[in-house]
Structure formats: structure tokens, C-alpha cells
């Protein structure tokens, strides 16, 4: 698999790859000397290192030899998210995709999701693995406030809003699952690598 390496200051290398989770899993199994942190994103993996131990050149030689592995062998477990499917955009998304509401819910709960990366807000996990039929665009006009616990989709991802915030994702439902809790250790329920399953429940 082709990867592109870009230096990021004196303490990090950015890896561009089509298999971020697989690349991260391979590095986690055998962490190169000096590597301090791995930060995944949609198509990149930031590799932070201790410059007193290694440098971008030496680390780059190691990274070019990495072969991605099945990220399932290094996942962070599975979390089941109970969802009441009554979101404001549920009917519109069903119509747009040519599905009934029941079929839409069935497809969403049948997905094998994995937390690909976190961003936007603390605890906001981008969950990859949804049915391609459910890959819909964000709203043309974002809402000014989306309640915490809202379950939403946009593009190839699903997500649970960890706190109330503006947002343009399409709302399918809501959950009481606390995906971000500063009183919990760790506070993030869905760190990268976590497998996620949505389960339809009644309100």
C-alpha cells in the first residue's frame, strides 16, 4: 500500500494512507522507538515522537516498511449504543435514499461500525462502516443547536453528538449513552478502534 510521509515540525510525521486504522494497528503492535503518540484522522495518521530518541528521517524509514493489519485484532472492544429512532431528519433521509423508515433503521442498526477518529468536539467519534445507501450529504443549512446524544449521519460516517452544539449532520435519533463524561476514566466512550453497534429501542 502506498503511503506518503510529511514532516510536521521537529516532533511529528504525518502519514497519508488509505487504511489509517490498519496502519495504526500495525504500529500499536510494535511501536517504533521514540514514538509517543498516534493521532488518527480520516485519511492521515499523525505520529508524534521524542526527538531525543529518533528523528523524522529515521522514523520515516521505519514507517515505509509498515504493512497495515486488520484493525480488529487491536480494537478497543465493542460498545452497544441504544437509539430511539425519532430524529428530525429520519423521514427525509428515508425518502432521499428510497427506503421506508423501518428499512432505514434496519440498515443503520445492521452496520458494523468502528471509531475511525475523533474530532470537532471532545468525544465526537467519526464512526465508519455504514451501508453505502446511507451515505447522504450534510444539511445545506446547519442547525444552530443539536442536543447532546443526537445520533446522526453525514457522508460515510455516523456519530453521536457528545454535547449540545451547532451541526449540519442528519439526525436519525437520540441516545442516553454518555459518549463523553469528564468524571469517567477515560472520558471518551468511543476512542479510535472501538467497534460500535447501534440498537433500536423504544422511548
Residue 89 has pLDDT above 60, yes or no: yes
Would you place residue 119 in the very low, low, confident or very high pLDDT band (cuts 50, 70, 90)? confident
The confidence score (pLDDT) of residue 72 equals 54
Q: What's the chain's average pLDDT?
A: 91
158 or 69, which is more confident?
A: 158
Would you place residue 76 in the very low, low, confident or very high pLDDT band (cuts 50, 70, 90)? low
Residue spans of the domains in the chain: they are 4-71, 78-200
The confidence score (pLDDT) of residue 70 equals 66
Would you place residue 26 in the very low, low, confident or very high pLDDT band (cuts 50, 70, 90)? confident
The yes or no reply on domain 4-71 and CATH 3.30.70.100 is no
Q: What would the DSSP string read from start to end of 76-99? A: --EEEEEEB---TTHHHHHHHHT-
Residue 102 has pLDDT above 90, yes or no: yes
Q: What would the DSSP string read from start to end of the chain? A: ---EEEEETTTEEEEE-S-HHHHHHHHHHTPPTTEEEEEE-SSEEEEEE-TTT--HHHHHHHHTT-----GGGG---EEEEEEB---TTHHHHHHHHT--HHHHHHHHHH--EEEEEE-SSTT-EEEE---GGG-BPPPSS-EEEE-TTEEEEEBTEEEE-SS-EEE-SEEEEE----SB-TTSSSSBSS-TT-EEEEEE---
Residue 5 has pLDDT above 50, yes or no: yes
Lowest mean pLDDT: which of 98-107, 119-128, 132-141, 145-154?
119-128
> Which pTM was predicted?
0.76
Placement of cell 435514499 in the chain: 97
Share of the chain above pLDDT 90, in %: 68
Lowest mean pLDDT: which of 18-22, 111-115, 172-176?
18-22
pLDDT in tens, 55-67: 999 999 999 998 8
Tell me, yes or no, if the two domains 4-71 and 78-200 fold the same way.
Answer: no
pLDDT in tens, 129-139: 899 999 999 99
The yes or no reply on domain 78-200 and CATH 2.30.30.60 is no
The confidence score (pLDDT) of residue 73 equals 47
Amino acid at each position: 500500500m502506498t503511503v506518503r510521509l510529511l514532516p510536521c515540525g521537529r516532533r511529528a510525521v504525518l502519514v497519508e494512507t488509505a487504511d489509517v486504522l490498519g496502519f495504526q494497528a500495525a504500529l500499536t503492535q510494535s511501536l517504533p522507538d521514540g514514538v509517543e503518540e498516534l493521532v488518527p484522522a480520516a485519511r492521515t495518521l499523525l505520529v508524534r515522537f521524542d526527538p531525543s530518541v529518533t528523528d523524522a528521517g529515521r522514523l520515516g524509514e521505519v514507517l515505509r516498511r509498515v504493512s497495515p493489519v486488520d484493525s480488529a485484532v487491536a480494537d478497543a472492544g465493542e460498545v452497544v449504543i441504544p437509539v430511539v429512532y425519532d430524529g428530525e431528519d429520519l423521514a427525509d433521509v428515508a425518502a432521499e435514499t428510497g427506503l421506508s423508515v423501518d428499512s432505514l433503521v434496519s440498515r443503520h442498526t445492521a452496520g458494523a461500525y468502528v471509531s475511525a477518529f475523533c474530532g470537532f468536539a471532545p468525544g465526537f467519534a467519526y464512526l465508519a462502516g455504514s451501508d453505502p445507501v446511507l451515505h447522504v450529504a450534510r444539511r445545506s443549512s446547519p442547525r444552530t443547536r443539536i442536543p447532546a446524544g443526537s445520533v446522526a449521519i453525514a457522508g460515510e460516517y455516523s456519530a453521536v453528538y457528545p454535547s449540545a452544539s451547532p451541526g449540519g449532520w442528519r439526525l436519525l435519533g437520540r441516545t442516553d449513552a454518555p459518549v463523553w463524561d469528564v468524571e469517567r476514566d477515560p472520558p471518551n466512550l468511543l476512542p479510535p478502534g472501538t467497534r460500535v453497534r447501534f440498537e433500536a429501542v423504544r422511548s
